[in-house]
Amino acid sequence: MLVSTFTLGDLYLGIDIVLVREINRSMECTPVPGSHDYIRGMLNIRGRVITLFDLKKRLGWSDNELGDGAGIKQYNVIMKTHSEVLKINPRLAETKCPWEDPVGLAVDQLGDVREIVDDNILPPPANMGGISADFVHGVVEFERNLLIILDVATVLGFDERSSG
Partner 1 sequence: MEDEARRIAEEIVSEYRRQLESVRFEKDQVKNLVQDAIGKLTDSFNGLRSSSDEQLGLVTGLTSSMQDDDGGEDGSDKKINIRGFVSETDKILKTFVNHIILVSRQSMEMVHRIDDLSSQMAEIVELLNDINAIAEQTNVLSLNARIVAARAGQAGEAFSVVASEVRKLARNSHEFSDRINGVVRNSKKNIESAKGIVEIMASKDMSFAIEAKGRVDEMMAEVSEIDRFTAETIHKVTGVADQISNQVGVAVMSMQFEDMVTQLSESMEKKIHVLENFSQAMDPDILFGDGLTAVDRMQRLEQVLEGQRAGFNAVDRGAVQQSSMDEGDIELF
What span, in angstroms and rounded, lies between the C-alpha atoms of 17 and 2?
Answer: 6
Residue 126: phi, psi to the nearest 5? -75, 165
CB of residue 15 to partner 1, shortest distance in Å: 10
Residue 91: phi, psi to the nearest 5? -65, -45
Q: Is 25 in the site for partner 1 (CB under 8 A)?
A: yes
DSSP letter for 125, please: P
The pattern of x and - marking residues 100 through 139 that bind partner 1 according to CB under 8 A reads ----------x-xx--------------------------
Q: Is 17 in the site for partner 1 (CB under 8 A)?
A: yes
Beta pairing class for 2-8 and 103-107: unpaired
> What is the rounded (10 degree) CA torsion for 32, 103, 107, 159?
100
CB of residue 25 to partner 1, shortest distance in Å: 6
Residue 63: phi, psi to the nearest 5? -60, -35
Q: Total residues at the site for partner 1 (CB under 8 A)?
A: 15
What span, in angstroms and rounded, lies between the C-alpha atoms of 113 and 123?
Answer: 21
**Residue from 38, 75, 99, 135 in contact with partner 1 (CB under 8 A):** 75
Q: Is 83 in the site for partner 1 (CB under 8 A)?
A: no
Burial of 164: CB neighbours in 10 Å, binned 0-12, 13-18, 19+: exposed
CB of residue 6 to partner 1, shortest distance in Å: 9
- Segment contacting partner 1 (CB under 8 A): 18-26, 34-42, 47-55, 60-68? 18-26
Q: Is 21 in the site for partner 1 (CB under 8 A)?
A: yes
Q: Is 23 in the site for partner 1 (CB under 8 A)?
A: yes
Which residues of the shown chain bind partner 1 in the complex (CB under 8 A)? 2, 4, 17-18, 20-25, 75, 88, 110, 112-113
